[in-house]
Structure 1
Amino acid sequence: MYERKLALNHDILMRVEKPARYIGGEVNAVMKDLSGVSIRFAFCFPDVYEIGMSHLGMQILYEMFNSMEDVWCERVFSPWTDLDAIMRREHIPLFALESQDPVKSFDFLGITIQYEMCYTNILQVLDLAQIPLHARERGEDCPIVIGGGPCTYNPEPLADFFDLFYIGEGETRYHDLFTLYQECRGNHLGRTEFLRRAARLPGIYAPQFYDVTYHEDGTIERFFPVEEGIPPVIQKELVTDMAEACYPTKPVVPFIKVTQDRATLEIQRGCIRGCRFCQAGQLYRPVRERPVELLKKYAMEILKNTGHEEISLSSLSSSDYSALPELVDFLLEECSRRHINISLPSLRIDAFSLDVMSKVQDVKKSSLTFAPEAGSQRLRNVINKGLTEESILKGAALAFEGGWTRVKLYFMLGLPTETPEDIREIAVLSNKIAALYFDMIPKEKRGGNRVQIVASTSFFVPKPFTPFQWSPQCTREEFLDKAYLTRTAVSEQLNQKSIKYNWHEADASVMEGVLARGDRRLCQVIRKVYEKGSFYDAWGEYYHNDRWLEAMEECGLSVAFYTHRQRPLDEILPWDFIDCGVTKAFLIREWEKAQREEVSENCSQKCQGCGAARFDCGICFS
C-alpha cells in the first residue's frame, strides 16, 4: 500500500478555513500500491471540494478507473482562496488527495467541465500544478490534460489549454485511450504522436490538429483537420446498456458536509420532454433506464457502504421512469425500517408524487417546487415546456390539500419572442396560486400557517445543440429591465404579501452566454482574465465583470458579437464539428416551430425524428 505524507504541514492546515478539504483519507477513498500501477490519473473538479464531491459523474468515473487493475485515479479540487494564496506564496504544487503527490507527476490530468464560469478555475488548477497553461508549451514531463463533461460540447473557448477533449459519456472509451497510451510509452513514442493517434479514437478531440479561418465579419469561414486521417466530425460517446454500465456502490464519503450530502441513485439518463431551452435534454438523448431490480440492489449496497442517512433519485425527469412506483414502494419500505430519508427531485407535481412526498417528508412540510419557466401559456408553448396553467394550478391545489404552504416557482427572463405581457404573467400566475390557497383553505383551518409563493427568475442563456442556439441573448440592461418589470408586476398583485420575488445577477449571465457559444479566440480572453486575478467566477462575491469586459476589449472582441446578434441558420457554429446525436435539421425544425408557437409531442407520444434512434439502445420511442 502506498505510504503517503501530507502535502500541507499542520501549520498551513490550521490557517485555512476547512482543512478537511485537502487531507484525503475519507471512507472508501481508494489507495493502491504504486508497484502495480502503470497509469496515474488525477481527476479534477475545478471548484471547491464541497461541490465537486457532490457530483455523481466524478464518483462514477472514480469507481470505473480504480476498477482497472493498472490504473490509480485520485481526486483534485480547486483550492479555496485562502489556500490558493498560501500555495502561491510558498510555492507548494497542487497535489492529489489520495497520495498527496504533485499533480504534475501524473500521467493524466482529467478535468470535468460542468459550467462555463468555472473556466478561470481550470487555469488556476494548471497554474498551481505548475503545468504550462498553453497545451503547445507542455513537454514530455507534463501530464496529458483531458477535458470532459457537458461544456465539452463546445470546447473551443478552452481549446488552447487542453491536449484532448472527451466528447460524451465517459464510461465507453477510456480503456482504449489508456491502452493506446501504454503502447506509445512502451514504444518510446513522444507526447505529440500519442495525441495524434488519440485523435483518431472515437469521441476524442485533439484541438491542436484542427484549424479555423474566419470571414471579415468575424464568423467562421472554415473549420478543418490539419493532418490526413484526423476525423472532420467527432461523434459523442454514449452508454447503450445501462445495466452493464459502471456504478459506484462504494462512493467516497467526505469528512465534512458537502452540497449534496446523501447517497445518489441514478435511475435513468436522457429526457423525453424536449424543452427547447434545455441543453441536457438534447445532449443525453435517447432516454436509457437502469433496471429496477439493479437499482434496488445498488440502493442497499450504497447505504450499507456509506452510512448515509438520505438517498436521492437522480435523473432529468424522475416521473418518466417507467418503474418509479415499484422503486419508490421498495425504498419506502426499506428506508423507513432503517430511518433513512428519501429525496425525490425532478417529479411532476401530481397525485402520485404528492402521496409519495407525504410519506417521505417530515410532518412539517417543506416547500414544493414547480418550474413553469414562463408565465404565459404562449411562451410555454414557444419553449415546448409541455405544462399548462391548468396542470400547474391542479398541482398547487393538491399540494395545499396535502398540507404544503410554501411553493417555489422557477422562471426564466429573456426567452425568445418574450413580450412585456409574458413577463407580467409571472406575477399573475404567482398571484393565482396564492389566491387558490385562500379559496381552498378556510381561515379557521390555516392556523398559524401563511402561504408563501417564492417566484425566482434566472436569465436565459442560449446553449449549443438546442433549438435556441441561433437566438440572440438579452443585454445586461435588458435583463435588468425585465427583472424590474417582474418586481413591479408582483407589487401590483392582490396577494403581493404572500409572494416573494428573487432574481439572479445579470452580468455573469451575459458572460456565460459569451463563453457558451464562443470560439477559440476566447482562449486569450480567459487567460487575460485569469492573469488579472480572477478565478471562482461562479461565485458571485469573486466575480469581477470589469475584468472580463477589459479583456474582451484588449483582445479586440465584442460581447455583442457572441451574445446579442441573431445567428443565420446557415452560419458555421464553433461546435458544428461535433455530432451530439440530434441532427441540425431537427434543431432547425424545432426553432421554426418555436417561432410559430407550436408544441412538439414528447418522445413517448410521438417520435420527432431527432436522430437519436441511430444509437442502438433499443429503447427509442417510435
Structure 2
Amino acid sequence: MRTLALSDDILLNIEKPARYIGGEVNSVMKDKSEVDIRFAMCFPDVYEIGMSHLGIQILYDMFNRREDVWCERVYSPWTDLDKVMREQHIPLFALESQDPIKTFDFLGITIQYEMCYTNILQVLELSQIPMHAKERTEEDPIVIGGGPCAYNPEPLAEFFDLFYIGEGETVYDELLDLYKQCKKEKKSRLEFLEMAAGVEGIYVPQFYEASYEEDGTLRDFRAVNPHAPETVKKQVVMDVTDAVYPMSPVVPYIKATQDRVVLEIQRGCIRGCRFCQAGMLYRPTRERDVEELKRYAKTMLKNTGHEEISLSSLSSSDYSKLQELVTFLIEEYHGKGVNISLPSLRIDAFSLDVMSKVQDVKKSSLTFAPEAGSQRMRNVINKGLTEEDILTGAGEAFEGGWSKVKLYFMLGLPWEEEEDMKEIARLSDRVARRYYEIPKEQRHGKCQITASSSFFVPKPFTPFQWAPMCTAEEYVRRAAIVKHEFQEQLNRKSLKYNWHDAEVTVLEGVFARGDRRIGQVIEEAYRLGCLYDSWTETFDNEKWMQAFENTGIDPEFYTLRERETSELLPWDFIEIGVTKKFLEREWQRAKDGVVTPNCREGCSGCGAATFGGGVCYESKN
C-alpha cells in the first residue's frame, strides 16, 4: 500500500494536487525490493509541461522494460508547494512510489531549455542532494543531465555528475549495466564515474578543466583524468523504426500542455536553417517506417483513450510517406471523435487539403513561419522560402475557407537592417491583401493576421554560433519600429503584432553560449529567489542583474561580441557529426546571402554522413 508523501491537509491547500499524487493510467509500479537500480526521471518544470515531453516518455518506457530497473518521475513543485516543503522540511519525492529522490541511485534531469536552470537547483535542494557534484557522497544519487541544452553543458557543469550527449536509446543500457556491476563490486562513486567516462557519449565535467585568457575568452579546455576522453561523441539512433517507443504512455489526470498521443514520424531536418540548433544537432534525418507508425497510432490511441493524435517532427512536410500516413489516419478515424494535429507543415496544396479534412476551418488558424520579412534576410538565414511561396500558400488557404493566419518572425538576426524589420509589417499586409482579393461573397468575414516576433538567440552548433546579440533595449527598439510600420499599413485593422520578452531573450543568450563561470551566476540568482524563469509571472530580471553584479560577471561579454571563428568555444570538445568547418562555411554563406540547398536536393558535406545512414544515404540505395 502506497503512502502519499503529502498529507491531505497540504494537498487540499495547494493548486492542482493531482500534480503530486501519481497513480495515473499506464504509470509503472514495481516492487522496489526486486530491482537493482532506481532511477528518478526529472523534467525541471511544472507537471503539465513535463508530462507533455516525448523524450521522458520514451526513456521511462525503455528503462521500465528492464526487470532490474524501476524508473519513476519527478517534476518541479509549483511555488505554493515549494514554500510548504521548505517550511516543513519535506524532501522531494517520486510520483510512483512517493519515496524521497535522495534514496534513488540516479536522478536524471532532461534539460530542454535554458530558462529552467534555476529549477534544476530547486530540484536538487528540495531533494536534499548537495548542489555541487564534488560535495556528494556515496549516499547521494548520481545526477545525470541530457537533452538539447546538454550540448553546451558548461554553465551547469558543477551541478551534474554526468551528462549524456545525444539520443538516450543508445548507451543508457551500457551505463546502467556498468552501475550495476560497480554496485555489486562495491566500487566507489569516483570509480564508477571513471568507468562511465569510458562509455561513448558520456561526459563527466569534474574530469575536465578550463583556463581563460586575460580578455576572458577560453584559453584551454582539457581532460585532467586519464579515464576521460579528449572529445565526447554524440549518440545517434540510426534505425529509428526499431528503436523503443512507448505504446502505453502515461496519461495524466489533469490537462497537460500536450494532452494527446504523439507519433514521432522522423528525427532530424533536411532544411538547414542557420539559426536552428535542432536542425544541426539531430542530423542526419531518419524516417520511421509508415506501416509501424500506423500500428503505433492504433495501439497508442487504444491504450490511452486520448482523442487527439499529433504527428511530431521538425519538418513534417519532408516525411516521404506523409500522404499515405495522413490518409490512413483520416480514413481509420473518420467519425470516431479523434482529432489529427499536424504541426510543422509547410503551407502547400497538399497540406491545406489535409488540414481541411482534419480541422474545423472556421475556428482554426494556420501558421506560417517566414522567420524574416524580407527575401534578403530569408536568404541570410537559409529559410528556403520565397515571398511567392508565402503568398501562394496564404491565397490557397483563404480560398479553402481559412481567414485566420499566424505569422512567426525573428528580430535581431545578423546583418538585419531597418528595411528588413519594416518588411515584417509589409509582408503581413500583403498576406491580408491576398485575402481581400477573394470575391466578397466567398469570404468568411474579416481576416485576422497575427504576427509575432521572437528575438534572435545564437545557439551552439549552428552557423550563427559566432554572431552577436542585441541589448534588451535594442530588441525592444526594433520591435517598436515594426509595430509603427504595422500602423502604417492599409489593412491595419486586420493585423495584430506582438513580441517576446527581450530581457528573457538576453538571459537565454548568456546561458546558451556560457562557460563554467556562468554556474555561479545561476546559483546566486537562485539564492536571490529566481525560479520558474520561463514563466512571465515569476520571472524577475532585477534579481538576475543583481546576480551578475554580485558575482562580478558581465553578461554582455557573452551576448554582444561577435566571436572569431578561431576562438575556442566552451562546447568544442563535443562532436555532433556536423563539422565546425561546415558551420564556418555556412556562416560565410550567410554573410554573402547565399542559399544552401536542402539535404535531398544535394549534399552540402556537413559531416553527418559519418553516422552511416539516414537521408545522407537514401539517394544511394
With structure 1 as the length reference, what TM-score do the two structures score? 0.99
Q: For 2:441 and 2:154, how far apart are their aligned partners in 1? A: 61
| 1:31–1:98 Cα contact (<8 Å) kept | yes
Q: For 1:351 and 1:522, how far apart are their aligned partners in 2? A: 48
Match of 2:490 in 1: 494
1:250-287 CA deviation, whole Å, 9 max, x = no partner?
00000000100111100000000000000000000000
Match of 1:356 in 2: 354
The amino acid of 2:254's aligned partner reads I
Matched, 1:445 2:439: no
**TM-superposed deviation, 1:188:** 1.2
SS for the counterpart of 2:310 is strand
Runs of 4+ residues deviating >6 angstroms? none
Q: For 1:489 and 1:459, how far apart are their aligned partners in 2? A: 18
Matched, 1:480 2:476: yes
Instruction: Identify the range of structure 1 (143-152 vs 177-186) with the bigger mean alpha-carbon deviation.
Output: 177-186
Q: For 2:572 and 2:395, how far apart are their aligned partners in 1? A: 45
Q: For 2:513 and 2:46, how far apart are their aligned partners in 1? A: 25
Matched, 1:105 2:103: yes
Kindly report which structure 2 residues correspond to 1:127-276, keeping only aligned pairs within 5 A, or say none: 127-276=125-274
Matched, 1:47 2:50: no
Matched, 1:31 2:16: no
Structure 2 stretches of 5 or more lacking a match? none
1:554-583 CA deviation, whole Å, 9 max, x = no partner?
222111100000100000000000001100
Matched, 1:300 2:274: no
1:364-402 CA deviation, whole Å, 9 max, x = no partner?
240000000000000000000000000000000000000
1:463-503 CA deviation, whole Å, 9 max, x = no partner?
00000000000111110100000000000001111100010
Change (3 A) 1:446 1:337: closer
Matched, 1:521 2:507: no
Over the aligned positions, Cα root-mean-square deviation in angstroms equals 0.9
Match of 2:385 in 1: 387
| 2:197–2:227 Cα contact (<8 Å) kept | no
| 1:52–1:77 Cα contact (<8 Å) kept | yes
Aligned residues: 618
The amino acid of 1:495's aligned partner reads N
**TM-superposed deviation, 1:338:** 2.4
**TM-superposed deviation, 1:200:** 1.2
1:480-528 CA deviation, whole Å, 9 max, x = no partner?
1000000000000011111000101100100000000000001111000
Q: For 2:549 and 2:564, how far apart are their aligned partners in 1? A: 25
With structure 2 as the length reference, what TM-score do the two structures score? 0.99
Matched, 1:599 2:598: no
Change (3 A) 1:258 1:238: same
SS for the counterpart of 1:5 is coil
Match of 1:410 in 2: 408
SS for the counterpart of 1:550 is helix
Q: For 1:192 and 1:120, how far apart are their aligned partners in 2? A: 26
Q: For 1:388 and 1:235, how far apart are their aligned partners in 2? A: 37
| 2:115–2:533 Cα contact (<8 Å) kept | yes
Matched, 1:535 2:564: no
1:101-152 CA deviation, whole Å, 9 max, x = no partner?
0000000000000000000000000000000101111111100000000000
1:218-240 CA deviation, whole Å, 9 max, x = no partner?
00100000022310100000001
**TM-superposed deviation, 1:244:** 1.3
Q: For 1:314 and 1:257, how far apart are their aligned partners in 2? A: 19
Kindly report which structure 2 residues correspond to 1:77-116, keeping only aligned pairs within 5 A, or say none: 77-116=75-114
Match of 1:590 among 551, 570, 586: 586
Q: For 1:502 and 1:455, how far apart are their aligned partners in 2? A: 7
The amino acid of 1:53's aligned partner reads M
Q: For 2:372 and 2:603, how far apart are their aligned partners in 1? A: 25
Q: For 1:36 and 1:297, how far apart are their aligned partners in 2? A: 33
| 1:335–1:342 Cα contact (<8 Å) kept | no
Residue identity (%): 67
Matched, 1:22 2:20: yes
| 1:181–1:194 Cα contact (<8 Å) kept | yes
| 1:365–1:403 Cα contact (<8 Å) kept | no
| 2:165–2:203 Cα contact (<8 Å) kept | yes
Structure 1 stretches of 5 or more lacking a match? none
**TM-superposed deviation, 1:446:** 2.9
Q: For 2:286 and 2:235, how far apart are their aligned partners in 1? A: 14
Q: For 2:430 and 2:467, how far apart are their aligned partners in 1? A: 31
**TM-superposed deviation, 1:60:** 0.5
Match of 2:455 among 424, 443, 459: 459
Q: For 1:183 and 1:230, how far apart are their aligned partners in 2? A: 20
